[in-house]
Amino acid sequence: MSLGKRAVAEFFGTFWLVFAGCGSAVLAAAFPQLGIGLLGVSLAFGLALMTMAFTIGPVSGCHVNPAVSIGLWAGKRFPGSDLIPYIVAQVAGSLAAACVLLVIAVGKEGFLGIGSFASNGYGAHSPDHYSLLSCVVAEFVLTFFFLLIILGATDKRATAGFAPIAIGLGLTAIHLVGIPVTNCSVNPARSTGPALLAGGWAIGQLWLFWLAPIAGAAAAGLVYGVVAGEEAPRAAGAAAQ
C-alpha cells in the first residue's frame, strides 16, 4: 500500500476517533437527564478506536496517534521515514473533526461558547484540579501501558484477529482512569484539534500532551523489545488513540 493511501487512512481514522470521542464529551456527556457521563465518553473513545482498527488496520495499521507511531518506531515495528506523513495526517484529521464538531455545537439553541471544547489540561484546567506533576505522570504511565497493549496484541505470537478488541478496551480503561486527571489525552493529535479551536490556555498547555505521551510510548517500545523479544507484528501496527 502506498504511503499516500496509508496517510489518507490515518486522516480518516483520526477524524473518527476525535469526532466520536470528543463529540461524546462535547455533545452528550451532560445531555439533560440522559447524559452519558464519564463511562459513556470512555466507551466512545474505545469503540471509535476499535471500529477504526478493524476498518483501516489492514491499510495503515490504524495508529491514529503520533505517540503510537513513535512508539511503534521505537519498538522497531514502523519505519522512521513514514513518521512525518503519518503525524501530519493524524493532526489534520483531528483538526478537521474538531471543526465539524464546532459547526454542530454552535447550532444548539442558546449556545454560549465552546469553553474548553474537550481540551486536555492540568492544574486549574484539570477536570479535578490535579497538579502538573500528577498530570505528567498520568499521561506518561497511561500511554506507556497503551503501547504495551498495542505491541502485545499485534505481536505475531498473539491470537490472530483480536487485536482491535484488546486495544479498544485498553483505551476505554485508560479513559476511565485519565479523564478526571487531564481529560485524558494519550494522543497528541487528539489534544491538538480541540486545543487549537479552544485557544488560550488550551494551546498554552498543549506541550504536555505531546511530550508525556510520546515519552511514554517511546519507553514502551524499548521495554517491550527487551521483555518480549523482537518478534515482528502481523501488520504494520494494527493499532490505535
pLDDT at residue number 184: 98
pLDDT at residue number 231: 53
Class of domain 3-228: mainly alpha
Give Cβ neighbours of residue 8 (< 8 Å, ≥ 6 apart).
Answer: 89
pLDDT in tens, 18-30: 999 999 999 998 8
pLDDT at residue number 236: 45
Cα gap 201→5, rounded to integer Å: 35
Backbone torsions φ then ψ of 70, nearest 5 degrees: -70, -40
Residue type at position 107? G
Considering Cα of 64, then 70, then 74, then 77, what sign does the dihedral take?
A: positive
Give me the residue spans of the domains in the chain.
3-228
pLDDT in tens, 71-125: 999 999 999 999 999 999 999 999 999 999 999 999 988 777 778 899 999 999 9
